[in-house]
Structures are given as structure tokens and as C-alpha cells.
Structure 1
Amino acid sequence: MNQFDVAVIGSGPGGYVSAIRCAQLGFKTVIIEKYDKLGGTCLNVGCIPSKALLDSSEHFENAKHNFAAHGIKIDTPKVDLTQMINRKNEVVDQTTKGINFLMDKNKITVLQGRASFESATEIKITKEDGTSEVIEAKNSIIATGSKPSTLPFINLDKERIITSTEALNLQEIPKHLIVIGGGVIGLELGSVYLRLGSQVTVVEYLDKIIPGMDATLSKELQKTLKKQGMKFMLSTAVSGVEKNGKTVSVSAKDKKGEEINIEGDYCLVSVGRRPYTEGLGLEKAGVELDERGRVKVNDHLQTNISNIYAIGDVVKGAMLAHKAEEEGVFVAETLAGQKPHINYNLIPGVVYTWPEVAGVGKTEEQLKETGVAYKVGSFPMRALGRSRASMDTDGLIKILVDEKTDEILGVHMIGARAADMIAEAVVAMEFRASAEDIARISHAHPTYTEAIKEAALDATGKRAIHM
């Protein structure tokens, strides 16, 4: 029986990063993946392929609507969806091969097959051909991620009624894509097909989109996407989805309780994700789950079985690749006797629509709920020279600061490259910077990040220079 110091189950961002850090720290490490490619949901059917399609569709959008204003004259551009999907697949292939290289470089054993616990220290790996082997691991890290959720009355046929996985590989551009769920995944994939020419209708049960983010961002993003042509039906409860040949019918009730019916040719069900623990044999190891099917862990990400840990989407907290990565490193360093830390308040959230949306720290709604006295500083992107130069004038930066100490409590932004700009806010808040600290730092001109400085100036009570 092969013996290892650490066995990592799942090769997504949490799993493979954890395996690398374990190997760097001198542990004999094995990573177990049931699919034939490493990288998990993020690299294969999540973050990476969706961003590839978002970028491709954004290029098409610019060619169709913005090139002429820049003095670039071209014939009317056409979409080659097959090539767009092929390019996406090439990006995925290159990225997953990069993970294989990192496994070899760090001398990590890779075992392909479905892992299930036989005991707290023994793991059975069953291959596709039915053969199996059992390994022994002093410590195990569960990093099996999540799967798309659905509603109990929806039958996902994965042809017309689809999840995000199928939406990444459509063979045609939908005439009318109905998106159930106004969260990150639905809005991103909805944006892809909106740009390519689809009519897109978002049906959301709550009264706002991206409900976990600051309400200002929700309102601003909805306004911007509506301007782009996306339609929204908020406070609307879906009651049924039926496929009729090449059409899909969604029945729902609006906020007045009146029955409505929406007809389309594809329906993307994007109502969140659920932790994936099926087939792991957790009961044999004695590992407990919580009421939502997540692996129960303590503050050290340790399960009730002392040598078994869990990270990422399979445990409590935001289902984000970068959160899983931090947790993977945290567990590896904990096993090595170090004292790592994760500040969950400072894990940013991002929506890769255009403009992009990003936030970190407390939202204004959270501060109101907890009775914290705060000040708000904001600055519109349209006031920046850099934004006008690139024709990306939608959006704003919003900074929330403690009323007495001026410490930054939250930063929320919508605008070009917000996904990259949010890192400045994370660094500032990690070092407990004040709004005045940011206001006094020189920001290169012309850049989008000047808006962060201007919002900080506004938060200090001084008037922003360019507003």
C-alpha cells in the first residue's frame, strides 16, 4: 500500500494549490482527481473558460459598436461561434497542462479516479475501468468543490434547459436566453450571449441582482446592463420550466402575484452551487456534514476527525476560487506547524461583466445593520480622463470609512478593470489604512485607479479634485 503524508482529494484551485504548498513544505503528497484533466470546475468549466468567452464577446462588441468612434473602419463583423468555443477550449487546455507541469515540478503524485474513504487514513481510488487501489494518508484534505444547483421542479435536460457547464459549449447563439438567477454566473454568461446578439431576460426571485454585494453596485450594474439591452424581471418567483421541442417556456409569478409566462429557446438555470461530497465515503471516515451538506470544520479548517481537513466550496463561506486557494495554503502551513491566518473579511468578490464589479470588506447595508457610524466617499468613472480616453465611462468607486478613525471599512466599485483595481483596496485594508492614507498616495495619471484616490478624498470630507 502506497503511503503519503498528505492526500488532497480534488484538483481545483484549492486542491492543486494546497498540494503544491504541501510539497514545498516537504510533505510526500498525492492529489486525486476523478476526471481526466486537472483543474476542477474553475479551470475546466468555470472561471477560465467563462472569462475566455467574456473577452471574445467583448472584442466583438467593441468591433461592432465602438471601433468606428476610434476611427477604425471595418466591414460588419460576424460571429464564428465555433472558433470562439475552440479558442476557449485551447485556453482551458493550456491552463490544465500548466497544472500537470506544476505537479511534476513539485514531485506530487497524481492519481486519476474517484476517491472514497475506507477509514480515516485509508482512501480507495476507483478508476473508470473499474480497477482500484487503496492508499494510506496521514492527513487528508477534502477539496471536491461544488456543482450547479437547480430547483426541485426543473428538469435539466442539458440541451435546452442548461447549467453554466452547457452554456460554455453551445453550438448556436440563442435567439432568446432566459436566465433564472441574477447572481454572478448568470449575469456573466448572459453578458456573453447578449453581446453576440441574443435577447437575454434575467428572472430573479429577490428585488435586486448580485444580492450579496453592496446595493449601490447592484443598482449601477442593473442600469448599465439594461442600457446594453439585458431585460430584468425582479421579485419574480419561477414556478415551472418546460421544454417544447426547440423552445422553452418559463412560468412564474411577479411581485403582484400575477402569473406570467416567458418564451425562449434556451433557459440557463443559475441559482447558485451546492457542495459536492457524493461518493466520498465520509461516513466511513466519520466526517460530519452540516445542515446544508457542507463539511463541518473548525477555525483551522479541521473536520471532527483530527487528520482530515476540508477547504473551498465544500465548506462554509463564499464559493470563490481565490478563497479556496488561501484555505489550501492555510491547511498546508498548519500541518507544517506554522501559524497562518486568513482574513475572510478581505476576500474580494468580483463580477466579470463589462463594466466589471468588485467589492471587499463591509457593505453599506452591513454597516447599517450593525450600527457602525460611517462616512461615504464616492467618485464617478466618467470624471476620469482615462475613462474618457477608453470610452469606459460607466461606473463609480465607493469607499466606506469609520466616522471616528477614518479607517477603511469597505470598498465597492464598478468600472473598467475593477477586478484588478480591487487589489489596491485589499492591500490598504490589510494594513488598516485610512481614507487619508489612500488620498495622500500618488496615483499615476491617467489611470482608472485615480478614482480610488478621488473617492478617498471625498470620504475624508475634503472635496474630490476632479468632481
Structure 2
Amino acid sequence: MAQYDVIVIGSGPGGYVCAIRCAQLGLKTACVEGRETLGGTCLNVGCIPSKAMLHATEMLHEAEANFAEMGLKGKSPSVDWKQMLSYKQKTIDQNTGGIEFLFKKNKIDWLKGWGSIPEKGKVKVGDETHSAKHIIVASGSEPASLPGVEIDETVVVSSTGALELSKVPKKMVVIGGGVIGLELGSVYKRLGAEVHVIEFLDKITPTMDEEVSRQFQKLLAKQGIEFTLGAAVQGVEATKQKAKVSYKMRKDDSEHEIDADVVLVSTGRKPVSKGFGLEDLGVEISERGQIKTDDHYRTNVEGIYAIGDAIDGPMLAHKAEDEGMACAEGIAGQHPHVNYGVIPSVIYTHPEVSMVGRTEQDLKEEGREYKVGKFSFMGNGRAKANFAADGFVKILADKTTDRVLGAHIIGPMAGDLIHEICVAMEFGAAAEDIARTCHAHPTYSEAVREAALACGDGPIHS
């Protein structure tokens, strides 16, 4: 029986980061993973492969829409679907191989197989049982579906199946107007598919700022994506090659049907908390399937912890990573802290969308007085030169103190630009602090500065 200080169950972003941090802090560490490769959903069938596909299809769009205007003449590129999937797989292999290298570098044992916890301080993997002072469950999440909708990963697919289609469908229906559905819907729209999004609520990206959500939908519609909002999907009838989606409009109960070659079910994800023996040990699990923990990621059973998608909070890879580091540092006797008020969210469509902190709706509900600084990318020289002038930066600041409370960006490189705001918020900065910081010209980041200026006397280029 192998003896460890820490055994982490799961090698996704939360699990592998936690294992590496534990090893860095001098703890003898092992990580349990049953996949053929490390990295969990994110690196194998989620974040990384989807970003590869988004990048490839954005390059296709650039060639089709903008090359000629820039004086780049020639035959429009054709799509070699097999090669695109090969490129995606190569990206996955490079990243998962990188995690395996980091495990070897940090002397972390990879316990290959699916793990369970038969008793406190013990982890069983296959026929072998290992002991550990601390066991961290980083089991992640899995796609959620709807009643009456059976996912077969061929015609009716989750995000996993959508990344492995044998060919580009002529028509794709996306159930759910959230991050996953809009990203993958964008991929297939650029590849020539007809894409129709059906969303239960009356707006897409429901947790985002309402103004951003409205603008985002307009831009996606301009790209050719169709939307049906306020619709409750009743079921999906699938054959070997086709599917029919039935839905009911919430406003008048009228019933409708729509045909598709592929139906992408992107109605969120649910935590993976079963199959580890947690219930038998008395670990508390919520009605939603989330493992209950305290502020230090400890469950109610001594020596067992949980992080990432398996516990409460946004299901984001970077949130899981932060929790993994904090959990490791707490076990090592340090005093870590995760600031849940400064965790950014990003949608990697074109344009990108990002946010951090409070929305206007949040502040109105709280009764907090605030001011808005907003700047359009139409006033940004770099954005205009790069055919990327759609969208804006919006900063929310306290009306009295000028302290930054949140930011919302829709536009080029929004997922990178948001981190300037994150750092500012982490240090309690005012909008004026951002406005008085010199930004290189010409860059997209100047739009952030202009939005900060708009919280004061006004932007320069608007």
C-alpha cells in the first residue's frame, strides 16, 4: 500500500493544479485519473479543443470576409474537415502531454484508473488501495440534458460530440443560449451550417450584463445565427441521420417543430459527485449534487476536501485552478484566499465577450449608487484597422468613491483585456487609477482607458 500526504481524484484544471501546488509545497502527492490522458474535460473535450476550432474558423472568416479588402487576393480557402479535426487533436495532445511532463517534473504519481474512497484516508484505484492524510475530490462536471432529450453523441450531441462530428451538418439546432452553445454554434456557422439557437429565457447569456447580452445577440444575428427566445423544448425525436425538435413558446403556449441534421444540447453542466463512495462515508451533498465544503474546501468528513465544478460556484476552469491552489496551500499550513468577486468570465466567439464583478442589474438590486463609463471600439484606431470595431468597454464604479465594481467588454480580445480590470479590482483601484495609467498606442487596451476616463470628465476619442 502506497502512503501519500495528498491524493487528488481528478486531473482537470482544478485537480492537476492542486496536485502540482501540493508537490511544490513538499507534500508527497498522487493524482488519480481514469482517462488515457491528463487534463480532464477542459483539455480533452472542452476548453482547449473548442478554442482550436474557434481559432481555425475565425481564420476562415477573415479570409472570406476581409482578405480582399486588405489587398490579399486569391482563391478562397476550402475546408478540409479531417485536417481540421487533426489540428484540434494535435492541440489536445500537446496540452495533455504538457501536464504529464509537469507531473514527472514535480514527482507526482499518476494513479491510472478510476478512484473511490472506501474509508477515510484510503483511495482505491483498480485492485490497489493507497493511503493519504488528505484526499481532494476534483471530479469536475458533465453535460446536463433535458427531460425527453436523449444524447447519443451522433445526431443529438453534447459539447463532446459536437467536437467529433463526422462532417459539417447542413443545419444545427442549439438548445441553450449560453457560453458553450454560442461558441460551438459560431464554429459551425462559419463552416457553412445553418444554426438556430433555442433558449428558454428571453435573452441569451442570462448571467451577463443586459446591455452586453442585447448587443451580443444583435452581432451574432448579423453573422447569420437565428434565435428563438422564450421557448421551452418539449423533446427531440432522432433517427440515424436527422432530428426533430419540438418546443412550446412560453408567452402563448403555441407549439412548434424544427428539423435539424444535428442537435447540440448545451443546457449547462452538472457536478460529478457520485461513484466515489462519498455518500457511504457521510459526506454531505446538496440536492443539486454539489459536494458541500467550508471556506477551506473541507467536507464534513475529516481529511476529505473538494474543489472545482464539484462544489458550489461558477463552473469555470480558472475558478477550479484557484481553489486547487488554495486547498493545497491550506493543507500545507498557509492562509490562502480566493476572491470570488474577481473571477472573470469569457465567451470566445467573435467578437469576444468578457465580464468581471457586478452587473448594472446587481447594483440596482442592491440599491448602490454607481456611475457608468463606456467607450465604443469604433473610437479605437487599432480596432478599426483590424475590422474589429464592433462592441464596447463598460466600467461600473462607485458613485462616491470611484472604486471599480465591475466591467463588461464585448469586442476584440475581450478575454485578455478584462484582466487589467481584474488586477485593478484586486487592489481596490478607482476608475481614475486606470484612466491615469499610460496605455500603449495603438492597442485595443486603450478602449479600457477611455472607458475609465468616461467615469470622470469623459473619454478623449468619443
The TM-score by the shorter chain falls in which range? over 0.9
**Which residue does 2:120 correspond to in 1?**
120
**Which residue does 1:67 correspond to in 2?**
67
Q: Which amino acid aligns with 2:201?
A: L
Correspondences of 1:411-422 after superposition (within 5 Å): 411-422=407-418
**Which residue does 1:180 correspond to in 2?**
175
Q: Which amino acid aligns with 1:249?
A: K
For structure 1, the 5+ residue unaligned runs are 127-131
What's the offset of the Cα at 1:296?
0.3
Kept in 2, the 8 Å contact 1:352–1:419? The answer is yes
**Which residue does 1:76 correspond to in 2?**
76
What's the offset of the Cα at 1:221?
0.8
What's the offset of the Cα at 1:330?
0.2
1:354-378 deviations in Å (ceiling 9; x for gaps): 1000000001111111111111110
What's the offset of the Cα at 1:35?
1.0
Aligned to 2:119, the other structure's residue is in SS state coil
Kept in 1, the 8 Å contact 2:285–2:291? The answer is yes
Kept in 2, the 8 Å contact 1:252–1:260? The answer is yes
Correspondences of 1:123-272 after superposition (within 5 Å): 123-126=123-126, 132-254=127-249, 255-272=251-268
Q: Which amino acid aligns with 1:297?
A: T
What's the offset of the Cα at 1:314?
0.2
Aligned to 2:74, the other structure's residue is in SS state coil
What's the offset of the Cα at 1:244?
3.2
Task: Confirm whether residue 86 of structure 1 aligns to residue 86 of structure 2.
Answer: yes
What's the offset of the Cα at 1:150?
0.1
**Which residue does 1:343 correspond to in 2?**
339
Q: Which amino acid aligns with 1:289?
A: I
**Which residue does 1:449 correspond to in 2?**
445
Q: Distance in 2 between matches of 1:168 and 1:148?
A: 14
Q: Distance in 1 between matches of 2:342 and 2:335?
A: 18
Kept in 2, the 8 Å contact 1:120–1:286? The answer is no
**Which residue does 2:30 correspond to in 1?**
30
Alignment match of 2:307 (pick from 287, 294, 311): 311
**Which residue does 2:318 correspond to in 1?**
322
Alignment match of 2:383 (pick from 365, 384, 387): 387
Q: Which amino acid aligns with 2:168?
A: I
**Which residue does 2:8 correspond to in 1?**
8
User: Please, what is the CA RMSD of the aligned residues?
Assistant: 0.8
Kept in 1, the 8 Å contact 2:147–2:235? The answer is no
Q: Which amino acid aligns with 2:41?
A: T
Q: Which amino acid aligns with 1:136?
A: S
Correspondences of 1:288-307 after superposition (within 5 Å): 288-307=284-303
Q: Distance in 2 between matches of 1:21 and 1:286?
A: 28
Superposition TM-score, scaled by structure 1 size: 0.98
Q: Which amino acid aligns with 1:414?
A: I
1:191-221 deviations in Å (ceiling 9; x for gaps): 0000000010000000111111111111111
Q: Which amino acid aligns with 1:237?
A: A
What's the offset of the Cα at 1:141?
0.6
Q: Distance in 2 between matches of 1:212 and 1:314?
A: 20
Kept in 2, the 8 Å contact 1:120–1:284? The answer is no
Superposition TM-score, scaled by structure 2 size: 0.99
1:69-90 deviations in Å (ceiling 9; x for gaps): 1110121221111100100000
Kept in 2, the 8 Å contact 1:13–1:40? The answer is yes
What's the offset of the Cα at 1:306?
2.3
Aligned to 2:299, the other structure's residue is in SS state coil
**Which residue does 1:334 correspond to in 2?**
330
What's the offset of the Cα at 1:158?
1.4
Q: Distance in 1 between matches of 2:239 and 2:33?
A: 37
The number of residues matched between the two structures is 461
Q: Distance in 1 between matches of 2:130 and 2:76?
A: 59
**Which residue does 1:129 correspond to in 2?**
none
1:399-428 deviations in Å (ceiling 9; x for gaps): 101011000000000000001101100000
Give the 4+ runs in structure 1 shifted more than 6 A. none
**Which residue does 1:435 correspond to in 2?**
431
Q: Distance in 1 between matches of 2:292 and 2:22?
A: 22
Q: Which amino acid aligns with 1:170?
A: L
What's the offset of the Cα at 1:230?
0.4
Aligned to 1:414, the other structure's residue is in SS state strand
Q: Which amino acid aligns with 2:144?
A: S
**Which residue does 1:361 correspond to in 2?**
357
Q: Which amino acid aligns with 1:89?
A: Q
Q: Distance in 1 between matches of 2:113 and 2:330?
A: 27
Alignment match of 2:398 (pick from 392, 402, 405): 402
Aligned to 1:296, the other structure's residue is in SS state coil
Kept in 2, the 8 Å contact 1:117–1:123? The answer is yes
Kept in 2, the 8 Å contact 1:117–1:284? The answer is no
What's the offset of the Cα at 1:336?
0.9
**Which residue does 2:98 correspond to in 1?**
98
Q: Distance in 1 between matches of 2:15 and 2:31?
A: 8
Task: Confirm whether residue 110 of structure 1 aligns to residue 105 of structure 2.
Answer: no
Kept in 1, the 8 Å contact 2:183–2:347? The answer is yes
Q: Distance in 2 between matches of 1:65 and 1:340?
A: 48
